[in-house]
Chains A and B, each alone.
Chain A
Amino acid sequence: MMQLSCPWCGPRNVNEFHHDGPLHHRPDPTATTVEEWRHYLYIRENPHGVVEERWYHAAGCRKFLVVTRDTRTNTVIPAEGESR
């Protein structure tokens, strides 16, 4: 099974994690335009290649982590200084 390296728990099976998607910024609802808000709600990046994305270790330490992954192959690219 594909594994993700949790900085707190070490390498764990991917089914312990929840996928949140590419890092994106939530606009301030009181200051944003309608178009910007709809863009935030519906338009998703769908990167074909290497992407930095947020995952949630739901069945583990329940912390959020950033994973760099190639969506073409599901290869996880280790962060700098990471041993694997």
Chain B
Amino acid sequence: MTRPDNPQPSFRPPLLRRYSAAHLAARGLTQRRWPRSWRDHDLDSRYDVVIIGAGLHGLATAYYLAANHGITNVAVVDKGYMGGGGSGRNTAILRSNYLTPEGVRFYDRSLRLYEDLAAELNYNVMFSRQGHLTLAHNDGALRTMRWRAEVNKVQGIDSEVIDPRQIKELVPHLDTSTDTRYPILGGLYHPPGGTIRHDAVVWGYARAADHLGVQVHQNTEVTGIDVTDGKVTGVETTRGDIATGTVINCTAGWSTIISEMAGVEMPVTTSPLQAAVTEPVKPFLHTVVVSGTLHVYVSQTDRGELVFGASVDPFTSFSTRGSLAFAEGLAGNVLKLMPALSGMRLLRQWAGLCDMTPDYSPIMGPTGVDGFLVDVGWGTYGFKAGPVAGEAMADTVASGRVPEIIADFGLDRFSSGRLVGEKGAAAVGH
């Protein structure tokens, strides 16, 4: 199917040192060191916009503020290092086959931005459009998939329900026999989905934002937000106080803590999600495979490792320690899908913090405090939405009004009752 071209930002980044094949060859021959991709700065006493969280969402917002709107007096502050939170702990899967029309439109815009991101940022983000396959093991799951496929098609998204024979052709290693505990009855196939190199996306946005004049401050923890007469006036950090009229909370895992500093209550609870990666093997899996019933998703990276993700842990916690119970359960479920993997070994496992909302949709836009905006509640689906969230939040700050694409995701939906229920398509096993 045809997809209309992306509207390009009006202001292209004037990158000082563009990466190119010629540049790579010259550096290789001369053995000269590569220049740093972004700079360190002293903290100024005043910025137009302060973004809390130097992950994908914070850096993308900063980049689009500078690139699309010319707002460059921006500080991105992070208590740790760039991309060390959810941006470095996700499983880097991209897709747009959601359940609600507003969700599908939103994530599709993000996928389109991702398609052109490498060229726009002059940074290889290694987008691999390998297709995304969600498996149904019971009638209820298959019914939800038909529903999702129809919602997707109405929104112009390539998405269809396929049968076990087609699934076997796509992924020969899947056990499609009918005498298993969880036989595969069908699947939702979404060819535009795929994977991306998550660190490269973060670094690409950071480099481009830095070149446009945005300051990224790592190891700068926010300790307080000053609010006077219902309006933000500044931010207190471990490296000094900043005067500003606009603060954007782009954190994950800490979104309730930061929001409480501004006196804003959030309908968010935090739970860890565990993931794991195997030793590398030759390429054999050319599709992202997801099973909601078995609480697992599997993809193969360009390096050959298999990346496994799971559902969120069943209780709230800020601990990012992995558990043996998870590794055991995950391995068992993966082997139910692909018995041929029984000889593979796990290299490592980790956990990231997921800010869950009651309707499994994010919260974006203004709050009750003037000048305090949020881009939080990203649960298990934040990475795929980074570019569109950044674009829309930048638009919100620059224009002073909420763009249509995120209008349904405001904090006020919990008091007006207009929830965006994505539980049936948000991730696995909720």
Contacts and interface: CB of A to CB of B under 8 A. Distances in A.
B319 A21 contact: no
Given A1-B324, A38-B415, A44 B267 contact: yes
Q: How many of chain A's residues touch chain B, expressed as a range? A: 20 to 34
B319 A71 contact: yes
A71 B325 contact: no
A35 B265 CA distance: 13
A22 B358 CA distance: 16
> A-B pairs with the 10 shortest C-beta distances?
A19-B315, A42-B267, A46-B256, A42-B414, A74-B319, A44-B269, A46-B269, A1-B325, A72-B318, A42-B358
A55 B365 CA distance: 34
Q: How many of chain B's residues touch chain A, expressed as a range? A: 20 to 34
Nearest to B357: A42
B319 A72 contact: yes
A38 B314 contact: no
B323 A21 contact: no
B293 to A, nearest CB: 18
A30 interface: no
Contacts of B270: 46, 71
Nearest to B314: A19
B194 to A, nearest CB: 33
Given A43-B267, A46-B268, A71-B316, A2 B323 contact: yes
Nearest to B259: A46
B219 interface: no
A73 interface: yes
A18 B315 CA distance: 8
A21 B316 contact: yes
B317 interface: yes
Nearest to B267: A42
B257 interface: yes
B106 to A, nearest CB: 21
Interface string A36-66: 0011011110101000000000000000000
Residue among A1, A14, A41, A42 with the highest chain B CB neighbour number at 10 A: A42
Interface in B256-277: 256-257, 265-270
Contact of B415 (A15, A35, A73): A35
Given A38-B415, A71-B319, 9 more contacts: A1-B323, A2-B323, A15-B325, A18-B314, A19-B314, A38-B414, A43-B267, A48-B256, A74-B319
Interface string B235-259: 0000000000000000000101100
